[in-house]
Amino acid sequence: MRPSPLAAVCSLLLVGLVTAGCIIRVTRADDDPLPNGGITGPPADCRGGPKEGPAHDGVEPAGPRFVGRFDLTNPAQARFQWSGTEIQGRFEGTSIHASMRVPIVYLQVFEDNCQQRIADYEKAHALDVTDETKALCSPFSPVVNAVCAQDKACAATHRACCKAVTTRMVVKIDDRPEGLLPVSQSFTDYTLAENLPFGIHTVRLHRGVEAFAGVFEFNGFTVPGGKLLPARVRDRRILVIGDSITCAYGIKGANAQCRFSFDTEDTFNSYSVVAGRALDADVEIVAFSGRGIWRNNDSEWEGTMPLLFDRTIPSAAQALNLSMDPNDKTRQPTEVARPDPEKDAEGDKNIVRHDFAKAPKPHVILVNLGTNDFFVGLPSPMVLFRNQYLAFVRDLRGKYGFTDAHIILAIPPMISDALDDQPRSAIRAVLEEVVALMKDPRVYMMEFLDQGVRRGMGCDFHPNLATHAIMAEQLTGAIRAKTCW
């Protein structure tokens, strides 16, 4: 993943300089967050209790329960790639184990002149570095398996400047504090808990890292000396569609100067998942860093969120798990997967499309997009951004039914009116127009706080834990205002 060219520029603001491209500002008094995000429309009459989706204990067969998007073509090999996907369970016993497979993921090293070395190699070999699948250190790249195997210069540069990193899952047992479970290609069997008091326990196995960490595969829980029980079913469901903010990019970073790492990304403590816990609701996250609704933060129009939204497995290049154990010949692809996850040719067998007819329908849909569309300046002409946003909301309504879901359109926290072109006011005007054009009593607008610097920032100027906590409170109130949950 490549850092934004604005990161260095934005840091100047912290010493008092204002730049034309930085969507950050020094906090003023009017930055206090609006209660319930200022959600539009009248509140529901809650005197009769919750209006829909009351939580209840389910009667599913004993075994794991999947929350989020999973490819269950083979139920014994449940494959998942989106942020925040979660496997839940209940069991009787003293310990529980999980079987999983994960790919190798490479990230760029920012020391030893590696940025220049990688750029020189890519230029010399005419690699299209705007294509995530062709950059030398890209997690999506087949270059590790193909090019570097035959090219000593590639292998040397990759070995020095592309670091194989460990990703993590979050494990939550009962009401105990969550723990981090490092996962890697080297292991398939993981101990989630042991030496518990004998009895009935709950487990949540949560993917806290985003889609470019590759396709993970869950092969089942085991309970030595015990048994799996039916998992609790929550009938309150929230769908959140977003970008790096929703992926919780940099949420655990010490300040805005730290760079991306999986160590600082954590959807389990992100605004949407925290709100889900407060509302006793399942949360499905469909989010990808750098993506917009009309254009991405690199000004490209391919692979925007409306395209990726229709996928259960978003990346073709990782859908075959190219980096799985090379000694396991049964799991290797017979050819390198089509290396462009952005373009979605009809009939591409490597992309798993989402079956909206069979998937559980959400009661609430939050769209938290726009930061990347505005990243290099206001969309021009703005009507194109408006039209794409409107088309996406109409598509959501078509997929989920006219009266079935509340749809909330959010102003993101990283868009500020500190700039001369006032992007926050601009996106507010667009969302107000989209809500009006929908003519739908269950489509609303809300505003997440303008994050400023009062509460600090996470990596690359993203919201930190403190800002996510405020966003969670705003989202919880906005949803309660419409559902009475």
The predicted-structure confidence for 278-301, as pLDDT tens digits, reads as follows: 999 999 999 999 999 999 998 888
Give dist(CA 455, CA 464) in Å, integer.
8
**Residue pLDDT, tens place only, 357-381:** 899 899 999 999 999 999 989 998 9
Q: What tokens appear for 21 in the block?
A: 């491209």
Round to whole Å and give the CA distance between 70 and 122.
Answer: 35
d(CA 331, CA 329): 5
Give dist(CA 282, CA 235) in Å, integer. Answer: 8
Give tens-digit pLDDT for 303-351. 899 999 999 998 754 433 322 233 333 333 222 233 344 444 444 455 7
Residues 203 and 231 sit within 8 Å (Cβ to Cβ)? no
**In the structure, what pLDDT confidence band is assigned to residue 185 with cuts at 50, 70 and 90?**
confident
pTM of the model: 0.85
DSSP for 260-293?
Answer: --GGG--GGGSHHHHHHHHHT-EEEEEE-TT--S
| Chain segment 378-398, per-residue pLDDT in tens | 998 999 999 999 999 999 999
Q: Between β-strands 179-183 and 216-222, what pairing exists: parallel, antiparallel or unpaired?
A: unpaired
Domains of the chain: 6-50+236-315+351-483 (3.40.50.1110)
Amino acid at 293: I
Region 221-227: mean pLDDT is: 97
Q: What is the pLDDT of residue 22?
A: 36
